[in-house]
Structure formats: structure tokens, C-alpha cells
């Protein structure tokens, strides 16, 4: 392995729940109306300090998408997914953007977000963008 270079963000940040590595700025949120198997998730136009897994096609609430899971560079834990390709024209705005699952990150105030009883098991996409 080589040396790990981690980007430090300033301002209101979201960070890895396990190792506190910075992941995204609050101002880069595109949508807060996404859901995953574990509850709420947010769509970001930019995330840092992550690496992508292999691309795969997933059938989501809003249709078929090619996505790759994203992992924290600090500890390797999965923190969300990145949209590589949206197969429906109305979903193209998601391409190149990433989703962070709230249960897997610390919010800007440093608090954990725990799974709520409202979590929609089996879903992995936005109800409404």
C-alpha cells in the first residue's frame, strides 16, 4: 500500500461514522429525499475520501440504474453508492452524483443518525427527487 492522502473539508461536513474521515459538505446536498435499506440517505453533487466498488445494474424505485458502492478511504466501510448511469431520461440528473446513507455517516453537528422505524426495507432510491 502507499501513503493515504485524505482531503480535509471546512464548514458543515458529513463524515464517516466509524473513523470520522470527511466525506462531504452540507452545501453539496442535492436532495434529502432519498432512502436506502437502512433509512434516509442524501444525494450529493460531490463527495471526497471515497473509493468505488464495481459497477452493477440495480433496479430501484425510480428505475434501472448502473451504480457502484462507495467506501470510506479511512476505514473501508461502505457509506453509500454512486450513480454511473441512469437508464431513464428523467433520472439523468443523478449521473455522477453520490448518495450517502445517514446511518453510516455523522452529520454536521457530529451526531449519529440511527435507523428509524420508518426505514423502507428493500428500497434503495429516492421517492421523489
Class of the CATH domain delimited by 13-110:
mainly beta
Following DSSP, what letter does each residue of the chain receive, concatenated?
A: --PPP-PPP-SSEEEETTT--EEEEGGGEEEEEEEETTEEEEEES---SEEEEEEEEEEETTEEEEEEEEEETTT--EEEEEEEEESSGGGGGGTT-EEEEGGGEE-TTS-B-PPPTT--TT--EES--
- How would you class 113 by CB atoms within 10 Å of its CB: exposed for 0-12, middle for 13-18, buried for 19 or more? middle
Give the β-pairing of 22-25 and 105-106: unpaired
d(CA 51, CA 71): 5
| Confidence (pLDDT) at 95 | 97
pLDDT along the chain (129 residues), means of 10: 82 95 96 90 97 96 95 97 96 97 90 46 41
β-partners of residue 25 are 13
pTM over 0.85: no
| Confidence (pLDDT) at 4 | 75
For residue 24, the number of C-alpha atoms closer than 13 Å in the C-beta half-sphere is 28
Amino acid at each position: 500500500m502507499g501513503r493515504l492522502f485524505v482531503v480535509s473539508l471546512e464548514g458543515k461536513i458529513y463524515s464517516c461514522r466509524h473513523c470520522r474521515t470527511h466525506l462531504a459538505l452540507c452545501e453539496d446536498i442535492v436532495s434529502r429525499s432519498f432512502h436506502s435499506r437502512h433509512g434516509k440517505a442524501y444525494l450529493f453533487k460531490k463527495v471526497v475520501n471515497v473509493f468505488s466498488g464495481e459497477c452493477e445494474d440495480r433496479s430501484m424505485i425510480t428505475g434501472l440504474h448502473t451504480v457502484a458502492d462507495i467506501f470510506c478511504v479511512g476505514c473501508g466501510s461502505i457509506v453509500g453508492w454512486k450513480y454511473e448511469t441512469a437508464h431513464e431520461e428523467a433520472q439523468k440528473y443523478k449521473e455522477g452524483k453520490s448518495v450517502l446513507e445517514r446511518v453510516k455517516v455523522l452529520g454536521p453537528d457530529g451526531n449519529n443518525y440511527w435507523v428509524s422505524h420508518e426505514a423502507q426495507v428493500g428500497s434503495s432510491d429516492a421517492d421523489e427527487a
